[in-house]
Amino acid sequence: MLAPPSGRDSAPGFPPPVLPEPEKPLGVWKRPVKHLGVIWTVALVCTAWTAGLFGVYVGARIERRAPSTTYRNSTQPVTLGNPRSKAFDQRLDVAGVSARMRPSIVTVSTDVSEKGLAGEGVGTGIVLTADGQILTNAHVVNGATQVRVRLAGERNPRSAKILATDPSNDLALLSVDVTGLTPAVLADANNVRVGDDVLAIGYALDLDGEASVTLGIVSALGRTILTDTGALDGMIQTDAAISSGNSGGPLVSAAGEVVGINTAVARSDATNTASSIGFSISMAQVLPEIETLRSMARGVQTAEGFLGIGLAERTDGGRGALVTTVNPDSPAALVGIEAGDIVVRVGGIDIDGSAGVIAAVRGHHPGDEIDVVIDRSGAKETFTVVLVGRPVITG
């Protein structure tokens, strides 16, 4: 299930419990999440409350915020790390690495108003460029009526502008009217390995003072999880403690390079126990997405492919995703995919569950052809589908 942490109008310093589904929850919503055959409670790790559910249809939504003249859409390149070196294999110098990272980490605070309810939220951001471009999670700023960024070493926050958000990839690009910042070094996408020491850094629980630092390792690579806006794939799993307020903060290697963006944690529910399971968006997803967000901020609309099926998890223990509904006249309907089919492969990628289907389709654009392999009553069939686009939602 999915349960974002509650807002700052709840008791500070205590993460919210996972509660039974209320009629109109303030700051808590829940969704079943299946990963590798286990139903987890997955919580997005910002302290903001938001509302609204995403339909299970495979597709994407992308929002663009037009920048003003005050806030720049930077043309400066991001700072990239070197190929993997011996520094990655050494024990992590917690004090040294965290000290080097602190100038590049900011607090992102928001005012949120939705359906007549008001609240505040806090997450973390990473400095991308010296002229004020900041990267954070989309769920940190979604629904915000005002965004503020507090820079390292400053007491008071500055007004910030949302340049672009991509909820389907849970990343957002912000701008602050300032120069002379210290950009974070972003790791080469191939630099991270299972077993590497890492630090999770961020403003956990919006506690006073500097960002919190927790030490762990890379527990696994290539995880796929479901969120309220679809699926996130290629995730880094870590046992470094991640708490409310860490969203958008960096997962940092022993070399002092950002290998991931801290985004979600698994939590125990009535039937499963989760301990020290956090998820970060890997640089393999982040680096190309930064350029996509910059293009969106310039007014270039980006559309992702739409298949037109509703999905559910299998309950018999098998792999694949169950097709529950097919949109009339959708690409799936036109080739003959039916409710009750089990999707086992999309675009050459084997499917374990519905998150895998969503992630596989999300990497394609309208007009792309992909092969969808389904299991229908024990017989495999392959359909070549031409994807179409979903309407782009602009802000």
Average pLDDT over every residue of 226-242 = 85
The answer to which of 115-119, 136-140, 289-293 has the lowest mean pLDDT is: 115-119
- The answer to whether residue 14 is domain-embedded is no
Amino acid 7: pLDDT: 35
Tell me, yes or no, whether 315 and 361 share the same domain: yes
pLDDT band of 45, cuts 50, 70, 90:
low
237 vs 244, more confident = 237
- For the cut 50, the answer to whether the pLDDT of residue 205 exceeds it is yes
Catalytic residue among 139, 239, 243, 341: 139
- For the cut 70, the answer to whether the pLDDT of residue 202 exceeds it is yes
Amino acid 24: pLDDT: 28
- For the cut 90, the answer to whether the pLDDT of residue 43 exceeds it is no
Copy the structure tokens of residue 246: 């860490």
Average pLDDT over every residue of 347-368 = 83
Tell me, yes or no, whether 256 and 336 share the same domain: no
Has 371 been annotated as catalytic? no
Tell me, yes or no, whether 309 and 205 share the same domain: no
Copy the structure tokens of residue 34: 């299946």
* Cβ neighbours for 203, distance < 8 A, ≥ 6 positions apart: 107, 122, 123, 124, 211, 212, 245, 246, 249
Tell me, yes or no, whether 253 and 349 share the same domain: no
Q: What type of residue sits at position 116? A: G
Has 139 been annotated as catalytic? yes
CA dihedral of 81, 82, 87, 89, whole degrees rounded to 10: 100
Tell me, yes or no, whether 232 and 340 share the same domain: no
- The answer to whether residue 33 is domain-embedded is no
Average pLDDT over every residue of 367-378 = 93
3-class state of residue 355 by DSSP: helix
Q: Tell me how far apart the alpha carbons of residues 135 and 172 are, in angstroms, rounded to a whole number.
A: 6
Q: Tell me how far apart the alpha carbons of residues 291 and 77 are, in angstroms, rounded to a whole number.
A: 10
38 vs 137, more confident = 137
Q: The CATH number of the domain where 176 resides is what? A: 2.40.10.120
- The answer to whether residue 371 is domain-embedded is yes
- pTM, two decimals, is 0.69
Tell me, yes or no, whether 320 and 193 share the same domain: no
Catalytic residue among 166, 170, 197, 341: 170
Q: How many CA atoms lie within 13 A of 127 on its CB side?
A: 24
Tell me, yes or no, whether 74 and 194 share the same domain: yes
DSSP-assigned letters across all residues of 54-79 = --SSS----EE----SSS----SPPE
CA dihedral of 241, 243, 245, 251, whole degrees rounded to 10: 20
Catalytic residue among 6, 247, 282, 354: 247
- The answer to whether residue 254 is domain-embedded is yes
DSSP-assigned letters across all residues of 378-391 = TEEEEEEEE-EEPP
The answer to which of 11-15, 94-98, 180-184, 264-268 has the lowest mean pLDDT is: 11-15
38 vs 98, more confident = 98
Q: Tell me how far apart the alpha carbons of residues 126 and 201 are, in angstroms, rounded to a whole number.
A: 10
3-class state of residue 370 by DSSP: strand
- The answer to whether residue 57 is domain-embedded is no
Residues counted in the chain = 395
Q: Tell me how far apart the alpha carbons of residues 138 and 136 are, in angstroms, rounded to a whole number.
A: 6
- The answer to whether residue 3 is domain-embedded is no
Copy the structure tokens of residue 203: 């403003």
Task: State what percent of residues in the chain have pLDDT above 70.
Answer: 76
Tell me what the pLDDT averaged over the chain comes to.
Answer: 78
DSSP state of 205: G
Q: The CATH number of the domain where 347 resides is what? A: 2.30.42.10
- For the cut 80, the answer to whether the pLDDT of residue 132 exceeds it is yes
Which of 121, 117, 169 shows the shortest CA–CA distance to 144? 121
Amino acid 269: pLDDT: 64
Tell me, yes or no, whether 337 and 217 share the same domain: no
Tell me, yes or no, whether 287 and 330 share the same domain: no
For 158, list phi and psi in degrees, rounded to 5.
-110, 150
- For the cut 70, the answer to whether the pLDDT of residue 241 exceeds it is yes
Tell me, yes or no, whether 81 and 148 share the same domain: yes
Give me the number of domains the chain comprises.
Answer: 2
- The answer to whether residue 350 is domain-embedded is yes
Average pLDDT over every residue of 104-129 = 89
3-class state of residue 305 by DSSP: strand
Average pLDDT over every residue of 280-307 = 85
- The end-to-end CA distance of the chain, in Å, is 28
Has 268 been annotated as catalytic? no
Tell me, yes or no, whether 77 and 216 share the same domain: yes
- The answer to whether residue 282 is domain-embedded is yes
Q: Tell me how far apart the alpha carbons of residues 272 and 389 are, in angstroms, rounded to a whole number.
A: 38
Domain hosting 363: range is: 305-389
3-class state of residue 135 by DSSP: strand
Which of 123, 125, 185, 131 shows the shortest CA–CA distance to 151? 125
Amino acid 70: pLDDT: 42
Tell me, yes or no, whether 193 and 341 share the same domain: no
The answer to which of 207-211, 282-286, 299-303 has the lowest mean pLDDT is: 299-303
